[in-house]
Amino acid sequence: MTPARASAARARGSSRTGERLRRLLAIVPYVLRHPGTELDELSRLFGVGREDLVRDLNVLLVTGVPPFYPHQMVDVEIDEERVWISAADHLSDPVRLTRDEALALYLQGKALLGAPGLAESGDLASALAKLESALQESLGGLAGGVEVAAGPSAERERAVLDAVRAAVADRERLAIRYYSASRDEVTNRRIDPEHVFAALGHWYVAAWDPDAGGERLFRLDRIHGTEPAGETFEPRGLAGAGRPLYSRTDADIPVRLVLRPQARWVAEYYEVEDERERDDGSLEVTLPTKDLAWVAKLLLRLGGRASVLHPPELAEAARRLAEQTLEAYR
């Protein structure tokens, strides 16, 4: 393996290790509070395949603190369907924060509590109340008065989230006004919403589009309004949390790209296939899409950090888009 290829492999491995660590930091406290949780339930909650989940949990068996005596190691018990975790003593020790750390955590937590979909988070609100009590002297007259004002967009997204969740529960068809980023237009759609979930910093709804006759995934922050359509539907068993954020169809156009090292995040953020490492550290991937105009916009964001191998008309579309953007600035 060449040095460039080895470096690229290390970078990709580091990214996956970071993702696994973040996942475990969330899974461990959940299982500690819910001993005997089913593997399938954990897989659904944390958006990870069952086999990957078991591999993650097995990593915990070799974790602990120096000098790694048995009582300082994490114990994981997995039977055919359920998981139990016995934490090492160090995980039970209370977290000790400096005044500045506690104050920063309190203010960040208040900001998070104002995010759409989290207002009902009792655990977060309870933790913030305890922090507020401990910070009475530091907060002074601000104690109990720190609130996050939600802007119009946040209020709209929360209203949409509530409406879509209610429609999922009642199996009610919705009429929505949806902004399509690829076409830069707002259209009227009808959807049968089955699952609402969060991924990569956004809320999504997995739904059936009866007019298009297929499954679609919608970002809630792009829904500009909802109304009951006056009809109910029978769920079709669409996948929810943990599913790919791109729905494959027979109309997909395979786009072959070369991603420079600074653009390799595309392969982690979007659904790609047929990945090939290059000697210079670049990554060659196929990105399925229904709309070449959307990929042209992505290439404009990436600048010279990505190039097109196929189809040739995409490179031309990206060039025209760049010229139009420069002309607008002039």
Tens digits of residue pLDDT in 147-186: 555 555 667 788 898 899 999 999 999 999 999 876 778 9
Q: 153-232 — its CATH code?
A: 2.30.30.100
Q: 253-329 — its CATH code?
A: 3.30.70
Those residues with Cβ within 8 angstroms of residue 41's Cβ, 6 or more apart along the chain or in another chain = none
Reported pTM: 0.52
Domain segments of the chain as ranges: 3-92, 102-142, 153-232, 253-329
Can you give the three-state secondary structure of 100-166, one letter per residue?
HHHHHHHHHHHHHHCCCCCCCCHHHHHHHHHHHHHCHHHHHHHCCCCCCCCCHHHHHHHHHHHHHHH
Cβ atoms of residues 308 and 263 within 8 Å: no
75-78 LR contacts (CB < 8 Å, sep 24+): 78/39, 78/54
Identify the pLDDT of residue 3. Answer: 45
Those residues with Cβ within 8 angstroms of residue 92's Cβ, 6 or more apart along the chain or in another chain = none
Domain 3-92 has CATH 1.10.10: yes
Per-residue pLDDT in tens (0 to 9) along the chain, 330 residues: 454 444 444 444 444 566 777 788 788 888 888 888 898 888 888 878 888 888 888 887 777 666 666 666 778 888 878 888 876 555 555 667 777 777 777 777 776 665 555 545 566 777 777 777 777 766 654 555 555 555 556 677 888 988 999 999 999 999 999 998 767 789 999 999 999 987 766 788 999 999 988 888 899 989 999 999 999 999 999 888 777 777 777 788 999 999 998 888 888 778 888 889 988 889 999 999 888 888 998 998 888 899 999 999 999 989 998 888 888 877
β-strand partners of 82: 38
